[in-house]
Structures are given as C-alpha cells and as structure tokens.
C-alpha cells in the first residue's frame, strides 16, 4: 500500500504533552484508534504510540530526558510515559511467535508493516508520522471510507490468534460499518466467526463481558444481534436461551444508554429475560456486585412497574420506596414503550425524598422508648408521610411529630 504524504495533521499532534514525548522518541508514531478516529472525524480520547525499539530502550530514553515513565508491561513491550499530567502508552513494534487463541508470545521488531500485520482490523492498522504522513499498509483508509470492517490478512487466522476478535468485530461493525439497506458485514469475517463460534467458551468471562457490554450499548443493535445470531455467537454466549425482540423493541422506543457501557445491565436483562436466573447469569459473566444487584432488580419483581400516575405526589411516593434508576430499569424491562420513555423523562430531574424523622427524634420528644414499639411507630409515621406526599424539611418534621402526639393522646396510635 503506498503512503500519502502529507495526509493528516490533527490538532492533537501539536499538543505540548505529546510533543515532549515525540522530542524524546522522534521515531514514534501514533497508532490504531487515534489515527482511525482522526480520519473518521470522531473525537480522539487516547493517543497510543508505537516505537521501533525494545521497551527497555524506550524506558531508558524517557528517564534520561526526565519524563516520568511506568513499565506497564515490559514483557508485552508496553511503557507508559507521563507528560504534563497526560499518560501515553508506548508499545514496541512486535511480531507474534505463538498464539493460543487468548494470548500471544511476541518478540520485538523494527518493521512497521510486520507490526501492522498482527493487528485485528485494517482500520486499526494505520499509523501516523509526526509530520502527518499516513502509513496504511492494508487499505484501512479505503475500508474506513467504505464503511467496511475487515480483518487484516486472513480472517480465520486473525480470529484463531485471539478469539475475542470475534466479539470485537461486531462492536467495530456497529460503530464503523455501513448500514444502507442491502449492505452486509464482510463475508470473510462472518465465515471465520461462524467457524469458531463454539470456541468462545474458552475465553474468560471478564473479557467476554468487557466486549458484550459495549456491543449491547452500541449503535445498530438490532442488526448486530441478528449478525451475532447468524454466526452462532449468541447461542454460545447464552446457552440457556435469549430473545432479542424485547431489547430491540425497547431500543426502538427510545431506551436510554447508547454509547454508555455502564448502562448495559438493563439491556442484558431484556435480552435474557427469565431464561436464565439473574444470579446464575451474573456469576457466569463475572459481573461486579453492583452490576449483579442491578440485574436482579431488573428481573426479580421487587420493584413495582409504574402504573402511569404522573402527578408529583405519586412520583415522590415512587421515589421514596425505590431509587429512580431501579424504577426506570424496571419500566423498560416490563413496558418497553413510550410509557417507559415518559417515566424516564419524569424521574430523571427529580431527587429522592428523604423521610425527615429518625428514632432519635421520637426519643427526644418522649414519644417512645428503645425497642420494637419504636420501630412500629416509625413505620406508622412513614406511612402517614407517604400519604401526605413525601414532603421534606423541618416544617414537615414538626407536623409529623404533632400528628403522632395527637394520635397518642387520642389513643389511636
């Protein structure tokens, strides 16, 4: 592939922090995602660099220049440089010596094309010299312009080197693929993934969930789930069963969360539904404790489904018993339509009301003594507080204390 010079000079190339690193490592090039997204006109989050030298030499040069450096992963060739508070991952050019479908044994090289050849997709295999020269050995720019996600070289070999690339393909296809009617994902990629779908069970659950959560919150979800089903990936990931239809319906009706990987849990709940117990699913995917709790809340029925009452008192009563996130999640899982979207709009700007009384307030007022009766009285007061509309503040606190005093005097409490 011929190089075009000069081709691209994004503004971040002039960032003083990056320039400090490039002054020490003039042979370094930005690589991968930052080059791809600069070409695509998308925001660039992280700038990763590659260098044609061993990591120990990279580390030595940075230290000699007074730049703070971290030996992030020397065996894999990665050093982190810290310049003006910014972190830059710098990886030595590599060649694969052996792969087992999960990890690679590598050696270092000074051959840029050889390093690019071991990357996953053509759109991720481009690099950029500090003067703006684009180095594109495998047609990544053409693929990016065409909306084509294609493995570097033989798709089957790339997937065999690291099975996680099967899931990465769907994530990148969703974000960078072309979706005009009649456009299909790359045939060679789909064939390679179909051939090895069953081997996804050999990946760690953590790696699978890291990709899956971004797929579930990515664009074009209906088409991506269809492609994952076509290749046999979904049945392997969810052997107890799944149904894309509820999730597709919810997303079509405005379910929030696209682009936010942390919002994958309610989408996972919609995809799996009751086909696998939430606790078992959480354990199998190695979800965090917070994620597992949210999944259970989505599916176990402990949070009520909104009845449509939209006045402020009704909404405050809902929030008094359950956090907004749980109510919204449950609405999307059970309703999946404009009602869930409406509740999302209603609850998002509201804060959760706080019951203004505690046991110490009743003790201080001489209305109770420590023990079961104190808890019973607090429950009675909270019921009255809910009836009154969940108001807050000292005035409401005084009104509730007056109410309970009157009730005690009258013998009704």
If you count them, how many residues does the chain have? Answer: 413
Phi and psi dihedrals of 92, rounded to 5?
-70, 145
Token pair 């790359």 is at which residue?
A: 186
* pLDDT score for 97: 73
More confident residue, 301 or 133: 133
Give the DSSP per-residue string, 91-148.
Answer: EE-EEEEEE-BS-EEEEE-S-HHHHHHTSSBGGGS-EE-TTS-EE-SS-HHHHHHHT-
Q: Which of 72-81, 232-241, 328-337 comes out lowest in average pLDDT?
A: 72-81
Task: Return the SS3 of 186.
Answer: coil
Tell me what pLDDT residue 182 has. 73
* Confidence category of residue 311, pLDDT binned at 50, 70, 90: very high
Residue 409 has what pLDDT?
67
pLDDT at residue 60 is higher than 60: yes
**CATH code that applies to domain 150-236:** 1.10.3090.10
**Domain ranges for the chain:** 11-144, 150-236, 238-353, 359-410
Please answer whether residues 384 and 403 qualify as being in contact, where contact means their C-beta atoms are separated by less than 8 angstroms.
yes
Report the distance separating Cα 242 and Cα 86, nearest Å: 43
Give me the pLDDT at residue 74, please: 81
Is residue 149 predicted with pLDDT exceeding 80?
Answer: yes
Using one digit for the tens of pLDDT, what is the confidence trace for 164-181?
999 999 999 999 998 877
Q: In the CATH hierarchy, which top-level class contains the domain 11-144?
A: alpha beta
Q: What is the mean pLDDT of residues 4-8?
A: 60
Burial class (CB in 10 A: 0-12, 13-18, 19+), 407: middle
What pLDDT is attached to residue 140?
96
User: How confident is the prediction for the chain on average, in pLDDT?
Assistant: 92
Residue 407: pLDDT band with limits 50, 70, 90: confident
For residue 162, which phi and psi values (nearest 5 degrees)? Answer: -150, 110
* pLDDT (0 to 100) of residue 100: 58
Q: How far apart are the two ends of the chain, measured CA to CA in Å? A: 85
Write down the pLDDT at residue 103: 62
- Say yes or no: do domains 11-144 and 150-236 share a fold: no
Say which residue, 306 or 98, is predicted with more confidence: 306
Kindly indicate the confidence band of residue 4, based on its pLDDT and cuts at 50, 70 and 90: low
Q: Which among 157, 163, 125 has a CA at the least distance from the CA of 31?
A: 125
- pLDDT, residue 367, reads 83
pLDDT at 6 over 80: no
Task: Give residue 302's pLDDT.
Answer: 85
Provide the β-strand partners of residue 90: 49, 79
pLDDT at 271: 98
pTM reported for the whole predicted model: 0.88
pLDDT at 410: 67
How confident is the model over 103-116, as pLDDT tens digits? 667 789 999 999 99
> How far is residue 115's CA from residue 300's CA, in Å, rounded to a whole number?
49
- Phi and psi at 232, nearest 5°, equal 85, 10
| Residue recorded with tokens 């990515």 | 218
pLDDT score of 176? 96
């Amino acid at each position: 592939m011929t190089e075009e010079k000069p081709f691209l000079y994004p503004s971040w190339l002039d960032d003083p922090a990056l320039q400090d690193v490039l002054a020490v490592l003039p042979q370094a090039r930005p690589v991968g995602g930052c080059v791809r997204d600069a070409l695509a006109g998308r925001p660039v989050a992280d700038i990763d660099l590659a260098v044609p030298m061993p990591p120990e030499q990279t580390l030595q040069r940075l230290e000699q220049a007074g730049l703070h450096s971290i030996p992030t992963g020397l065996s894999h060739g990665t050093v982190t440089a810290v310049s003006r508070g910014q972190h830059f991952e710098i990886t030595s050019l590599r060649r694969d010596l052996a792969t087992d479908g999960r990890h690679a044994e590598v050696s270092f090289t000074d051959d840029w094309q050889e390093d690019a050849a071991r990357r996953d997709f053509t759109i991720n295999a481009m690099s950029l010299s500090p003067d703006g020269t684009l180095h594109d050995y495998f047609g990544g720019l053409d693929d990016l312009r065409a909306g084509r996600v294609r493995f570097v070289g033989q798709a089957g070999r790339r997937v065999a080197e690291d099975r996680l690339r099967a899931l990465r393909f769907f994530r990148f296809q969703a974000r960078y693929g072309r979706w005009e009617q009649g456009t299909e994902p790359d045939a060679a990629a789909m064939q390679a993934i179909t051939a090895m779908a069953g081997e996804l069970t050999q990946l760690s659950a953590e790696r699978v969930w890291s990709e899956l959560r971004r797929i579930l919150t990515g664009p074009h979800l209906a088409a991506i789930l269809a492609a994952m089903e076509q290749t046999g990936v979904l049945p392997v990931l969810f052997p107890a069963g799944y149904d894309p239809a509820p999730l597709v319906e919810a997303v079509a009706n405005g379910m929030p969360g696209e682009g936010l990987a942390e919002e994958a849990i309610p989408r996972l709940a919609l995809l799996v539904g009751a086909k696998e117990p939430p606790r078992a699913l959480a354990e199998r995917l190695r979800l965090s404790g917070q994620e597992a709790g949210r999944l259970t809340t989505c599916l176990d029925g402990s949070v009520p489904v909104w009845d449509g009452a939209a006045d402020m008192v009704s909404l405050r009563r809902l929030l008094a018993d359950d956090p907004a996130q749980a109510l919204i999640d449950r609405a999307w899982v059970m309703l999946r339509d404009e009602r869930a979207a409406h509740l999302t709009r209603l609850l998002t700007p509201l804060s959760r009301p706080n019951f203004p009384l505690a046991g110490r307030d009743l003790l201080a007022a001489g209305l109770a003594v420590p023990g079961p009766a104190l808890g019973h009285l607090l429950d009675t007061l909270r019921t009255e507080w809910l009836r009154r509309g969940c108001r807050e503040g000292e005035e409401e606190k005084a009104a509730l204390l007056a109410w309970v005093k009157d009730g005690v005097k009258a013998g009704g409490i």
